[in-house]
Chains A and B, each alone.
Chain A
Amino acid sequence: MLSFVIRRLAVAIPTLLILVVLSFILMYAAPGGPFNSERPLPPEVLANIEAKYGLDQPFWRQIVNYVVSVVTQFDFGPSFQYKDRSVNDVIAQGFPVTLTYGFWSFVVAVTVGVSLGVAAAIKQNSWIDYFAVGVSIGAQVLPNFVMAPILLLIFTLWLGWLPGGGWNGGQWQFLIMPVIALSTSYMASIARITRSSMLEVLNTNFIRTAIAKGLPMRRVIWRHAMKPTILPVLSYLGPAFVGMITGSVIIDVFFSTGGIGQFFVNSAFNRDYSVIMGITILVGTLTILFNLVVDILYAWIDPKIRY
């Protein structure tokens, strides 16, 4: 097991480095620097500013400096646009928000999705099965950027129950719509995967044996069927995580929740490279770590995996 974790880490770390270097090269290749504005600065001033941000040094020196400061101090450097803040400040401000509703969306997607899928599989061809299948098909065509306006229309404009946006320290009224909008399509996918996986498992010999020897159904499901059922769901969690973290951009823009997505899009329009890079690297790191955890969990649950 330990050697598996180490081997998996040996892939994750170079991946991260590639991401850092790749985004730096992209930024370096950008035509025009961040300080080329419509009113050109006097060359002396420009030279001073560039010296301050280290932009006057040769390419390899800049990249080494950047990578070293990112890797050793988690320092993404100063923001080019917000003069009084560093990229770390921006992330520190936005990330807790993203983490809060992201966490709840993930919890909702997994718990509701898995229970819906299991219920549908156990009571196949009952109303709950049709309901689950209907929901999962319907939600497939409702990605977050379609869900968000629809929710806003219903709950804020028509019913007036929920605030149309903002964060307000993460009060529950402000959390509901972001969480629903972000989790729905993943909830649907998880429900569908769970259902088909559970149906497959319930048809296997060892489940038949368990039922035949008189175990109560509850115990068969929980002790025997659940573990193999959850494996395909587990391997879907990686892509779902990527999707959700990407979707958080939409949530932030639409509900003005103030997460990192909002900074990301603002920076994208203002060419604030250092913020974009910082967030890209942060998100990439999270994704890679999450995939690592999923892989380890998978190897731990599934006895057939050799490592």
Chain B
Amino acid sequence: MLPNRAAVEGAADQMALAEVKGRSLWADARIRFFRNRAAVISLIMLGLVAAFALFGGMLAQYEPDFVNFSLIGSNAYLGVPSIETGHYFGTDSNGRDLFARTVMGTGISLMVGVVGALVAVIVGTLYGATAGYYGGRVDGAMMRIVDVLMSIPFMFVLILMLVIFGRSIFMLFLGIGLISWLDMARIARGQTLTIKNKEFVEVAVATGVRPSKIILRHIVPNLLGIVIVYATLLVPNMIIFESFISFLGLGVQEPATSLGALINEGSRTMQFGFMWQISFPLFFFVVTIFAFFFVGDGLRDALDPKDR
């Protein structure tokens, strides 16, 4: 008794269909991400902010460090935002075009965030994966170092360093690089502990692959999902961090500027009614941070296997 031939073929067709529909982990994540409306909108916003930082300079009628001396002291009526004068966002208290400066500040803030996240991804992931893979005493020692570094209030140490070695963007990056990787190292280590007991790692060990190669070729790629999520969430934190230092006047130095420095300048003049000097930088700051957080959350929902 053979089953109905048509039914068998139908089942086979269905299986073939199912095979076609089979999705990879990444495709799956992509679908989940794009179903998240807040994340998609944030991604678009982020694209717009990045475009503003990259190409806004072409729209600006003035250079960011060009001082219009005739405007100093008459900011209240000549420096207001207007299309006609070409100062779309008005001028700052030194008679410089705020649009051009906001473009520059957004760019520098984004760069700081991305560099910080990159350092975190590279150093933190490798450090955490190494500690987790070797385990035992090596792990204990390496993670103890992270614990010790984490319990130091780094902002103070960084300010100490900025004072001693002079304020420069290089020192700022160095300082951000020094702290940003700590969290990532912990996360990467935790994930590595579960990955290293999987069969494919066992096979690699059994076939005599060197530990460094196992870490780089077998463990790190599997960490990628969670690393991307936390890197995205790290970017806004780094931007906040840099803005904090620049707000104190210790970060990016004139004539360069960042959103934190612009907010600081704006907050000094808002009592005289120059609201545009704080609102435009603040708007870009808030939008950027918001967007990064939402994209990060969306990525976490899409990629983090724990939350499924």
Residues on A lying within 8 angstroms of B by beta carbon are 11-12, 14-15, 18-19, 22-23, 26-27, 29-30, 137, 140-143, 145-146, 148-149, 152-153, 157, 238, 242, 245-246, 249-250, 253-254, 264-265, 268-269, 271, 273, 276-277, 279-280, 283-284, 287-288, 291
Pairs A–B under 8 Å by Cβ, sample size 20: A15-B148, A23-B157, A26-B164, A30-B165, A141-B289, A143-B243, A143-B244, A145-B260, A146-B285, A149-B267, A149-B278, A153-B270, A238-B151, A246-B153, A246-B156, A268-B160, A268-B163, A269-B249, A280-B160, A284-B153
Inter-chain contacts of B289 with A (CB < 8 A) = 140-141
Smallest distance from the beta carbon of A199 to chain B beta carbons, Å? 12
Inter-subunit contact A283/B156 (CB<8 Å): yes
Chain A interface, DSSP helix/strand/loop, else mixed: helix
Give residues of chain B (216-274) contacting chain A, Cβ–Cβ below 8 Å: 236, 240, 243-244, 247-250, 260, 263-264, 266-267, 270-271
Inter-subunit contact B290/A29 (CB<8 Å): no
Inter-subunit contact B263/A145 (CB<8 Å): yes
Inter-subunit contact A276/B160 (CB<8 Å): yes
Smallest distance from the beta carbon of B36 to chain A beta carbons, Å? 14
Given contacts A12-B151, A18-B148, 10 further A-B contacts (CB under 8 A): A26-B157, A29-B164, A137-B293, A146-B263, A146-B285, A245-B153, A246-B244, A279-B156, A280-B160, A283-B153
Inter-chain contacts of A245 with B (CB < 8 A) = 153
Supposing A141-B290, A153-B270, A250-B244 touch, asked if A287 and B155 sit within 8 A by C-beta, the answer is no
Inter-subunit contact A265/B164 (CB<8 Å): no
- For B71-103 the 0/1 string (1 means CB < 8 A from A) is 000000000000000000000000000000000
Residues on B lying within 8 angstroms of A by beta carbon are 144, 147-148, 151-153, 155-157, 159-165, 236, 240, 243-244, 247-250, 260, 263-264, 266-267, 270-271, 278, 282, 285-286, 289-290, 293
Inter-subunit contact A287/B151 (CB<8 Å): yes
